[in-house]
Structure 1
């Protein structure tokens, strides 16, 4: 069964020069359980720069998969002590990236409201070695 939910998503990115950029989005989504994992789905907006894209999160205790489809697409996996290489597809081309997850916390509460996902990770462009430090916080409000 799918539950209608409201999400607060806060993404913070710090580049190699230390410049910080934060985006906060409040949106509606859905939460459901399938094959022992929790899933959150939502539509991206113009604020995130990914309008006309959909995001699906597969949440497990020690692993989060974030799959985006639409104008830009990616399949990111966050797992402690494991790096993940992916192709990030955009209208401007395909970029190979590597994710190194620094910390990962997933808490899905029985009452749903107050559930959170916290991820800290480093994202490196494989071809250029430029990287950013990132934090992603998702709260069900």
Structure 2
């Protein structure tokens, strides 16, 4: 059974010239465990501007699969030491991206926890940025 949770996301992109972009937001969502994997689902407008995107994360012991559906469509796999490709589809067009995950820390139970991903982002085989993504999941307090 899915549990209602609060999901807090902090993302940093660092570029070669030294600049950084940071994004932080929170969203209500659900967390459940099935067959040894955790599933986190939430609706997000922060990554798509005002349009809504449903984001799901499948969290396995050594792999995180991000799946976005809606104004943005993307399926991205994060696995330490492995370079994975994806297509990032927006109303303006598609981008072919790759991520190489350098570090992955998963501390998750049915009550919540943390996921930390550090990875390099590539576009057309060219390095774009070093990224850090921290996801905190905690039980949603009753209203």
| Alignment partner, residue 102 of structure 2 | 102
Provide the secondary structure at the position in 2 that maps to 1:18.
coil
The 2-side partners of 1:68 and 1:44 are apart by 9
Q: Which of 112, 136, 139 is the equivalent residue of 2:136?
A: 139
Looking at structure 1, the residues matched to 64 and 116 of structure 2 have their Cα atoms a distance apart, in angstroms, of 10
Q: Which structure 2 residues correspond to residues 1-141 of structure 1 after superposition, within 5 A? A: 1-45=1-45, 47-50=46-49, 51-110=51-110, 112-113=111-112, 115-126=113-124, 129-141=126-138
Q: How far 1:40 sits from its partner (Å)? A: 0.3
Q: Structure 1: which 4+ aligned runs deviate by more than 2 Å?
A: 47-51
Q: In structure 1, how many angstroms separate the alpha carbons of the residues matched to 2:80 and 2:87?
A: 20
Partner of 2:109, secondary structure, is coil
Structure 1-normalised TM-score? Answer: 0.91
> CA–CA distance in 2 between the matches of 1:19 and 1:78?
24
Whole-angstrom distance in 2 between the partners of 1:94 and 1:23: 22
Q: Structure 1 unaligned segments of length 5 or more: list them.
A: none
CA RMSD after TM alignment: 1.4
User: 2:141 aligns to what?
Assistant: none
Do 2:12 and 2:132's aligned partners in 1 also have CA atoms closer than 8 Å? Answer: yes
Q: Is the 8 A contact 1:8 1:25 kept in 2?
A: yes
Structure 2: tracts of 5 or more residues without a match = 139-143
Contact 1:58 1:66 in 2 (8 A): yes
